[in-house]
Amino acid sequence: MSWARLSFRLQRWEIVFLTAGVALLAGAMLWYAWQLIAVVAENPGCDPSAFTSGCEAVARRYDEMRDFVTQFTNLTWAAPFGIGVVLGVPLVAREIDHGTTQVAWTLSRSRIQWLAGRLVFPTLVVIGLLVALAITGEILAAALFPQANLSEDFTWYGRRGSLLVARGLVALGVSVLVGAILGRLLPALLAAGFVTGIAFGGLTFGMDRWNEAEAVALPYGRDITGDLSLGERVVMTNGEVMTHLEMQRAGVASYAIGIDGRIYVPPDGAVDFEGIDSPADVGELIGQSHVLVIPAERYPEIVAREAAVLGGVAVLLGLGSGVVVHRRRPA
C-alpha cells in the first residue's frame, strides 16, 4: 500500500478539506431527512404535501423544510465538478511546476505506469466521496417525496444517485489532462474550471438531443410528475412539430395560448388578444402546445446510458493524459 500512502501524502490537504466538506454536507442532508421523516410519522393522518383541512400547520412546516433542503441539491450538483478539479489538477501539474518530474519519471519504469499509479488513489477518493453524496441524496429525496417511486422518477435528476460519481470522474479526467498540458498549478486550476464547464455543457447538449429523439409529446395540462421534461413543443394542425422560436421564424409573430394549451392567431394578423377572455372567440386555431418528456419508467435506462457515456469520456480523457505525459519534456 506504499502507493496509497504516497498519493495521500501528496494530496493530503486537498483530501482532508474535501472529506470534511462532504461529511458536513452529507450529515446535514441526513439530519434534514430525519426531520422530514419525523414530520410524517408524527402526523400519520396528514399528507404533508397538501394543505388539507386540519393539516395546514404540518403542510406549512413541511413546505418550509422542502424549500430549504432543495438548496442542498445545488451543492450536490456542483460537488462532482469541485472535487474533480481540486484533486485532478495537482496530480501532474504540481510535479511539473515544482520541477520534480525529472526524478519521478526517471525512477519509474515508464511515465504511463507512473501516471496510472498516481491516478488510482484520487480516483478512489472521488468515487468514495461522491458515493456518499449519491446515497445521502437518495435518502433525502425519499424523505421529501415519500409517496414517489424514486427508482422510476426523474426528480432531482443528476443531483442524486450514480450520475454524481460519473460526472466526478469526467471532471477528474478533464482536470488531470489540463494540468498535464499547462504544467502550472494555478493557471491549470483556473483553466480546468473553465474547460470542465465547457465540456459538461457540450455533454449535456448532446445528451438532451439524444433524449429528445426518443421523447414523447404530451398535451398541455397532462400530469408529468416524475417525467424528464425536455421543453415545450407545438404540434401544428398539419402535424408538424415546432418550437416557439421556429414558429416565429416561420412568420407566426402574433399568437395566444388558451388555458387548454391551444394556440390561436388573428385571422388578419391585426387582432389584439389583450383583454379578450378567450382567444378562440376571435382567433384561428393553428396548433396545440405539448410538453416533450421522457416517461418516468425509463429513469434507470436513461441514467445507465448517461453514466456509460460519461464513463467512456473519462477513459478517453485518461488516455489523453497518458499521451501528454508520455510526450512531455520534464520541467
Q: Are 200 and 163 in contact (CB under 8 A)?
A: no
Dihedral of CA 321/128/201/85: which sign? negative
Please give the residue that has the higher pLDDT: either 282 or 156. 156
- pLDDT band at 312; cut points 50, 70, 90: very high
Q: Which residues contact 270 (CB under 8 A, 6 or more apart)?
A: none
Q: Looking at the whole model, is its pTM more than 0.75?
A: yes
Whether 221 is in a domain gets the answer: no
- pLDDT band at 200; cut points 50, 70, 90: very high
Q: According to the model, what pLDDT value does residue 70 have? A: 80
Residues 257 and 199 in one domain: no
Decide if pLDDT at 52 tops 70: no
72-106: burial string, b at 16+ Cβ within 10 Å, e else: bbebbbebbbbbbbbbbbbbbbbbbbeeebeeebe
Give the SS3 label for residue 88: helix
- pLDDT band at 138; cut points 50, 70, 90: very high
Q: According to the model, what pLDDT value does residue 68 have? A: 80
Q: According to the model, what pLDDT value does residue 271 have? A: 53
Decide if pLDDT at 270 tops 60: no
Look-up of cell digits 389583450: 274
Whether 276 is in a domain gets the answer: yes
Q: In Å, how far from its chain's centre is CA 136? A: 16
Whether 217 is in a domain gets the answer: no
Whether 233 is in a domain gets the answer: yes
Residues 142 and 127 in one domain: yes
Residues 98 and 152 in one domain: yes
Whether 288 is in a domain gets the answer: yes
Residues 6 and 129 in one domain: yes
- pLDDT band at 254; cut points 50, 70, 90: confident
Q: Long-range CB contacts (< 8 A, 24+ apart) of 64-69?
A: 65/32, 65/35, 65/36, 65/39, 66/144, 68/32, 69/29, 69/32, 69/36, 69/140, 69/144
Residues 50 and 158 in one domain: yes
Q: According to the model, what pLDDT value does residue 5 have? A: 74
Over residues 146-154, mean pLDDT: 88
Q: Give the whole-angstrom CA distance, residue 54 versus residue 96.
A: 67
Residues 267 and 162 in one domain: no
Q: Are 91 and 122 in contact (CB under 8 A)?
A: yes
Please give the residue that has the higher pLDDT: either 124 or 55. 124
Give the SS3 label for residue 262: strand
Q: According to the model, what pLDDT value does residue 55 have? A: 73
Q: According to the model, what pLDDT value does residue 278 have? A: 67
Q: Which residues contact 80 (CB under 8 A, 6 or more apart)?
A: 130, 164, 165, 167, 168, 170, 171
Residues 271 and 174 in one domain: no
The segment with the largest mean pLDDT, out of 62-71, 75-84, 114-123, 267-276, is 75-84
Residues 242 and 254 in one domain: yes
Grid cell at residue 216: 414523447
- Render pLDDT for 126-137 as a digit per residue (tens, 0 to 9): 999 999 999 999
Residues 232 and 153 in one domain: no
Q: According to the model, what pLDDT value does residue 224 have? A: 84
Whether 222 is in a domain gets the answer: no
Residues 273 and 158 in one domain: no
Question: What mean pLDDT is reported for the chain?
Answer: 85
Q: According to the model, what pLDDT value does residue 3 have? A: 62
Q: According to the model, what pLDDT value does residue 243 have? A: 82
Tally of domains within the chain: 2
- Render pLDDT for 169-178 as a digit per residue (tens, 0 to 9): 999 999 999 9
Helices (H) and strands (E) in the chain, counts: 9, 6
Q: Long-range CB contacts (< 8 A, 24+ apart) of 74-78?
A: 75/25, 76/25, 76/29, 76/133, 76/137, 76/159, 76/160, 76/164, 77/158, 77/159
Give the SS3 label for residue 137: helix
Whether 124 is in a domain gets the answer: yes
Decide if pLDDT at 53 tops 80: no
Residues 90 and 170 in one domain: yes
Residues 262 and 202 in one domain: no
Q: Give the whole-angstrom CA distance, residue 119 versus residue 112.
A: 10
Look-up of cell digits 425536455: 230
Q: According to the model, what pLDDT value does residue 67 have? A: 77
Domain extent, residue 140, equals 2-212+297-327
Q: Give the whole-angstrom CA distance, residue 171 versus residue 165.
A: 10
Q: According to the model, what pLDDT value does residue 131 have? A: 97
CB atoms within 10 A of CB 192: 28
- pLDDT band at 139; cut points 50, 70, 90: very high
Q: Give the whole-angstrom CA distance, residue 173 versus residue 251.
A: 46
Whether 206 is in a domain gets the answer: yes
